[in-house]
Structure formats: structure tokens, C-alpha cells
Chain A
Amino acid sequence: MGQFKSQEEQVEWRQTSNRMKQFPGLRVKTYLFLLLIAFFAPLGNVLLGKGMKDVGTARNWQPRELLHILTRIFTSGYIWFGVVCLLAFFVAYTLVLTWADYSFVQPASAFSYAIVAILGLLVLGEKVNLLRWSGIAVICLGVLIVSDTHPRAPEKQ
């Protein structure tokens, strides 16, 4: 309990803890959905990355060039498959938001940032230097700090 600065925070934590004991399914359900989020989001992003590397960058902002790029985007199988994965992520994400706080769900889903770098390296053959790995590791550390808090904030302001 050393993490709490005030008595009020301790009381709030106890109330939330009791609710978790009363409804253990809430915690299991939350982590199951976070797992789905951590799987579909990086896979979707890697597929989009692969698709956009094939499509290429717009050379100018002329309507004809933009139309050409959009046509290539909408006819890319990688992008459609990526969109399907991101839709699966979106469904899991919006459902979990019906019972868990946004400020908990968003950081907790950040494990996908590490997974996407690993997939970028292994699947797309991207070069990931030491500084980038360090940054991703620090992001994961931030995630661990946030994940130690409870899914539902006990009191609204």
C-alpha cells in the first residue's frame, strides 16, 4: 500500500479491490480483451506498413496523383487484410471501454508497440537500432507502471 500518498487513495483502492473480489470475471474479461487488442493492433499495422511500402509515397498533391495513390491503396490486399485486423482490434477496444476506463485501456494496450517492432524486424526486415529498442523498452516500462493500476477508477471527479 506504500504507493498511496493519502488515506483517501487507500480507501478508494480498498473499495475497488473489494469490487474485483466480488466480480473476478471482470478482471479476467478485461485482460482477455487486452490480449486481443495486443494481437490485432500490431498485426494490422505491420500489414498496413507492408501495403504502403508497395503503394509508395505521393510525388505531389495533384488530384490525379492522389487518386492514383488512393486506387492503389484500395486495391492492395495487404491493406484490406490490415484493415480487417484493425477492425477486430477496434471491436475489442470499444467493447472493453464499456466497463474499463479509457485512461487504463489505452496505456495497457501499448504492448503492441513492442510487438510491432519485433514484427517489423522479422517480417518486413526493417533495421531497428539499439536506441530504438531502448525507446521501445522504456515505453514498455511505462506500460508496466500503468498496468499496475486498476481497470476501473473507483470514483469519478
Chain B
Amino acid sequence: MLELIFLFLVIGAGTGGELCVSRAMKALGEVHDFRPAALMQFVWRAARVAWMWVGIGLMTVAFFSLLALLSMENVSFVVPVTAMSYAAGAAGAALFLRERVTKQRWLGVLVVCLGVTLVWLSRR
């Protein structure tokens, strides 16, 4: 039961955090200059976007939940089952970021979810 709660937190908070960070990065625009000074300037700009901090907060919750899961289960089980975030991620990208998710991408996500189910069943 505890494993399910932590898994939910890893998926929910992790996906939510990534979506928030993605939204912040889209607002900042594409990176063309990869020199250290330019990257530092980019990080400074990113730190002033509120969505970035919400994202980092959620990803921190997901990180400690992942650590808790890893203390209970093998890494070869924990990491593949967190792929369930694909479904949440694709739905969030369509609804929250207004990205166009094609039918092919949805099919891929569906197959990934089937694989996650098999990994989950392998635990028994």
C-alpha cells in the first residue's frame, strides 16, 4: 500500500513538475548560445519564472518519494513502473501546454503503459 502511495507521488508530482518546468522553458524560448556565460544568464532568467519554482518544488516531492520507493523495491522494478507517467505526461502536454499530441504518439504511450503493466505483474 505504501509503495502505491509513493508511486502515485512519483508519477503525479513528477509529471506535474516536468509540465511546470516545460511551461517555464517554453516561455523563455529556444537556447542557441551554449557558452557558459550565456547559459548562466539563461539560468538567471529561468530562476525569475514562477512556473520554474512550482516545478522544482513538485519535482523535489517526486525525488524523495522515489528514494522511499527505492529503499523498498529493486531499481529494475521501480524505474520501469514510473513510466506510467507517460499517460499523465501526454494528457498534461495536450491539456496544460496545448501541444498537439498525434495519434501515433498516443499509440506509443498506450504500448508503454502495457509494458508497465507487465513489469508490475512481474513483482508477484
Contacts and interface: CB of A to CB of B under 8 A. Distances in A.
Chain A: number of interface residues, binned into ranges: 35 or more
B75 A45 contact: yes
A10 B118 CA distance: 35
Interface in B74-89: 74-80, 83, 85-86, 89
B100 interface: yes
Given A107-B109, A131-B122, A138-B114, A98 B89 contact: no
Given A102-B22, A102-B99, A126 B115 contact: no
A113 interface: yes
A107 B101 CA distance: 12
B107 A126 contact: no
B98 interface: yes
Contact residues on B (Cβ < 8 Å of other chain), bracket: 35 or more
A34 interface: no
A124 B75 CA distance: 9
A153 to B, nearest CB: 4
B112 A116 contact: no
A26 B31 CA distance: 11
Contacts of B19: 102
B50 interface: no
A103 interface: yes
Interface in A27-68: 42, 45-46, 48-49, 52-53, 55-58
B35 interface: no
Contacts of A121: 76
A42 B23 CA distance: 25
Contact of B105 (A45, A104, A137, A138): A104
B119 interface: yes
B13 to A, nearest CB: 15
